[in-house]
Amino acid sequence: MKNLISHGFMMSLLLFACACGQGEQPVERTSEQDTLNGPTADADPRAREIAEQVVQACGGWDAWHKTRHISWSFFGSRNWFWDKYTGDLRMAYPREDLLVLMNVNTEKGRAFIHHQEVTNADTLAQILDLGRKRWVNDSYWLVMPFKLLDPGVRLEYKGQDTTQDGRIAETLQLTFFNEVGYTPENKYIVYVDTENNRLIQWDYFANTTMPEPSISDIWSDYKKYGGILLSSTRGDRNLNPIAVFDALPPQVYNDTASVADLLTTNTILQ
């Protein structure tokens, strides 16, 4: 029985790893702590000015730092709860019946496949590593406007250009220093609306030498969640449901019960 369970864990882990790599781009490794003391990117003056305008259009630094709990779904594949203050995460991956409860700062946690806890240390370590990488990726898709000035980022103003849907936008090129993150060779061009300062398109290049982007998506459907403005739609895909909470029961991050069962009347939903 133990061998069968172990085999099942490994098969699910392999499926999880393969599925995680499809249709996504890995991004730089940063944490919420990186931005608590203000922006520290290497940015030219115009690029920094535009990036600050983007943050203000999305609610401002104060609102971002006061935002504690965020939940969203990565294109219906992975469902997330993230405590920005502590680094606690809850990732549910329904297709593989996988639940990960971990902390991204300590990289410690627990994992459950088919409601059975993963006890093999090597298997658990692999799952937690993949879980952290998926959080880096999936959260970047959601909150990139607040990450333009992260430490380790090189931000350059590239003038005006036209988006896929014909809007004139200011463009910024975002690259990373070599020691930053899982894939420092990535590059982005972000398009910023000249009227409302919102990020309205991004082009992703897996390598800085690529002439054409691997992914190019319009950002749309901006709404206010708590004190911040977030976009839910990337092209024909979306990150709904998105929610911001002032407080959540700690069991959301350490209990295997369903979130619906864990949420109480004391939870404040913004």
b/e code 15-54 from CB counts within 10 Å (16+ = b): ebeebbeeebbbbbbbebebbeeebebebeeebbebbbbb
For 222-247, the three-class secondary structure string (H helix, E strand, C coil) is EEEECCEEEEEEECCEECCCCEEEEE
pLDDT on residue 26: 41
How far apart, in whole angstroms, are the C-alpha atoms of residue 187 and residue 190? 10
How far apart, in whole angstroms, are the C-alpha atoms of residue 217 and residue 113? 33
Gyration radius of the chain's alpha carbons: 19
Alpha helix positions (H), 86-202:
121-143
Q: What residues pair up with 187 in beta bridges, in sequence order?
A: 205
Number of domains making up the chain = 1
Predicted structure pTM score: 0.86
pLDDT on residue 222: 99
pLDDT on residue 29: 39
pLDDT on residue 215: 96
Q: Taking the chain (270 residues) in consecutive chunks of 10 residues, what is each chunk's mean pLDDT? A: 44 51 46 51 96 98 98 97 98 96 98 97 97 96 97 97 98 86 84 99 94 97 98 97 97 94 60
Domain of 188? 2-269
CATH code at position 84: 2.50.20
pLDDT on residue 13: 55
Per-residue tokens: 69: 């709990």
Give the distance, in angstroms, between the CA of residue 203 and the centroid of all CA atoms in the same chain: 16
